[in-house]
């Protein structure tokens, strides 16, 4: 049944950083963002993060998945209970493995069971239909970025850069008629975001991340480690393209001989270099880079981005957006698009053969 009125939608996102569940409400008709609502964050405990990390690389049918699925669903159900007056929830689930060229993509989390438990309509399994249509299944946030560019009144091309565990970028032309228009968007994963930095510091110091980039700020970049980055197979591919969280993990071995400070600085520079390399694929230069995700809070990383890109680099808060909740808001937006039968991805964002309306709908 077509949706005739704007809906109050909740987006639920647990990203590759595996720090917790972001939950955010927006009001939307699936085309425009009419209002931003409340948001909340439910962190995973240390033992829960260990359970999720143990599941990385597992595919449907592998052993040990039931406990991970129950954990993910329980945390998301708790997030839903913090809100009222909802029409629908967009449930991304937790990505455990991503290999669209061979095995597909695996986001664990039973949206049908979550819908029953919450008594709420839930849209989930957003990526499978895109992969089945020949797409990468990622990134899925670009159609929301297009709506954000319209909402902030952008006049010329801009780039939305998300730095979670993996980095991804959306080039947006806000003058296009719609996000599915041929010239409206170009989106792809750039390379590692925070994942390598986080994993390195977990091994060295037991830290979850480099707070404000303070450790990187005291180190020196080892240029030799980065010398062959330009020939990395992923960077040599043309977009659209996407990554698994583990695809650049070989660089952890390359910095193993460095001090903690120098290793952190080098991995931070690696993330920035991958972003700078991404810009060569843009149809036209951008007026501005807007950064969301945890990476925008890393001062060392933001400084390197400013040095290596060809336009001003700002956190999305500079234009009134919430950099912590943008991805969760995106899945609220996509959930409403699925209810309306509108595309959620297409050739210019994931490489799917045609625009795809991805997502399964489960009734509460």
Determine the pLDDT at residue 32.
Answer: 97
- Cα separation of 226 and 270, whole Å? 7
Buried b or exposed e, range 28-48, using 16+ CB within 10 angstroms: bbbbebeebbebbeeebeeeb
3-state SS class at 39:
strand
Determine the pLDDT at residue 229.
Answer: 87
pLDDT tens digits, one per residue of 84-129: 999 999 999 999 998 888 889 999 999 999 999 999 999 999 999 9
- Cα separation of 317 and 297, whole Å? 11
- Contact yes or no for 183/198 (Cβ under 8 A): no
pLDDT tens digits, one per residue of 322-341: 999 999 999 999 999 999 99
pLDDT of 309 over the 70 cut: yes
Residues linked to residue 105 through DSSP beta bridges, in sequence order: 98
- Cα separation of 191 and 331, whole Å? 22
Mean pLDDT of 333-360: 95
- Contact yes or no for 86/25 (Cβ under 8 A): yes
Determine the pLDDT at residue 270.
Answer: 96
Determine the pLDDT at residue 165.
Answer: 87
- Cα separation of 184 and 157, whole Å? 9
Q: Among the CATH numbers 3.40.50.1980, 3.30.420.40, 3.90.79.10, 2.60.40.1180, which is that of 7-139+327-362?
A: 3.30.420.40
Determine the pLDDT at residue 341.
Answer: 96
Determine the pLDDT at residue 288.
Answer: 97
pLDDT of 1 over the 80 cut: no
Across the chain, mean pLDDT equals 94
Determine the pLDDT at residue 58.
Answer: 95
pLDDT of 170 over the 60 cut: yes
- Contact yes or no for 33/212 (Cβ under 8 A): no
More confident call, 172 vs 3: 172
Determine the pLDDT at residue 247.
Answer: 83
Q: Give residue 281's pLDDT band: very low, low, confident or very high (50, 70, 90).
A: very high
pLDDT tens digits, one per residue of 187-243: 999 999 999 999 999 999 999 999 999 999 999 999 999 998 878 999 999 998 888
Mean pLDDT of 73-79: 97
Mean pLDDT of 43-50: 94
More confident call, 38 vs 165: 38
Q: Among the CATH numbers 3.80.10.10, 1.10.287.610, 3.40.190.10, 3.30.420.40, which is that of 153-319?
A: 3.30.420.40
Say if 7-139+327-362 and 153-319 have the same CATH topology: yes
Domain definitions of the chain by residue range? 7-139+327-362, 153-319
pLDDT of 156 over the 70 cut: yes
- Cα separation of 37 and 158, whole Å? 25
């Amino acid at each position: 049944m077509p949706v005739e009125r704007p809906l109050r939608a909740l987006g639920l996102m647990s990203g590759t950083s595996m720090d917790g569940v972001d939950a955010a409400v927006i009001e939307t008709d699936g085309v425009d963002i009419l209002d931003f609502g409340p948001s909340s964050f439910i962190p995973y405990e240390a033992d829960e993060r260990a359970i999720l990390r143990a599941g990385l690389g597992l595919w449907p049918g592998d052993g040990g998945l039931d406990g991970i699925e129950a954990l993910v669903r329980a945390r998301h159900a708790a997030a839903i209970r913090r809100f009222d007056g909802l029409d629908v929830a967009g449930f991304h689930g937790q990505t455990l493995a991503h290999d669209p060229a061979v095995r597909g993509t695996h986001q664990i989390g039973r949206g049908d069971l979550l819908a029953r438990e919450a008594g709420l309509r839930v849209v989930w399994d957003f990526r499978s239909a895109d992969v089945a249509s020949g797409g990468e299944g990622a990134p899925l946030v670009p159609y929301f970025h297009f709506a954000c560019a319209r909402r902030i009144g952008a006049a010329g091309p801009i780039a939305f850069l998300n730095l979670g565990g993996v980095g991804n970028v959306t080039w947006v032309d806000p003058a296009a008629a719609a996000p599915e228009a041929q010239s409206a968007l170009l989106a792809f994963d750039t390379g590692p975001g925070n994942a390598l930095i986080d994993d390195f510091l977990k091994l060295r110091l037991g830290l979850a991340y480099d707070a404000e980039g303070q450790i990187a700020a005291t180190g020196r970049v080892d240029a030799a480690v980065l010398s062959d980055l330009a020939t990395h197979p992923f960077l040599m591919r043309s977009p659209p393209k996407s990554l698994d969280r583990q695809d650049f993990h070989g660089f952890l071995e390359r910095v193993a001989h460095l001090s903690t400070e120098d290793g952190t600085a080098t991995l931070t520079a690696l993330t920035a270099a991958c972003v700078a390399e991404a810009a060569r694929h843009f149809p036209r230069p951008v007026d501005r880079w807007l950064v969301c995700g945890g990476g925008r809070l890393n001062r060392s990383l933001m400084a390197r981005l400013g040095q290596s890109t060809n336009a001003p680099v700002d956190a999305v808060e500079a234009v009134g957006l919430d950099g912590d909740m943008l991805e969760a808001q995106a899945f609220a937006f996509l959930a409403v698009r699925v209810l309306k039968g509108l595309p959620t991805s297409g050739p210019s964002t994931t490489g799917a053969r045609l625009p795809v309306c991805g997502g399964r709908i489960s009734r509460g």
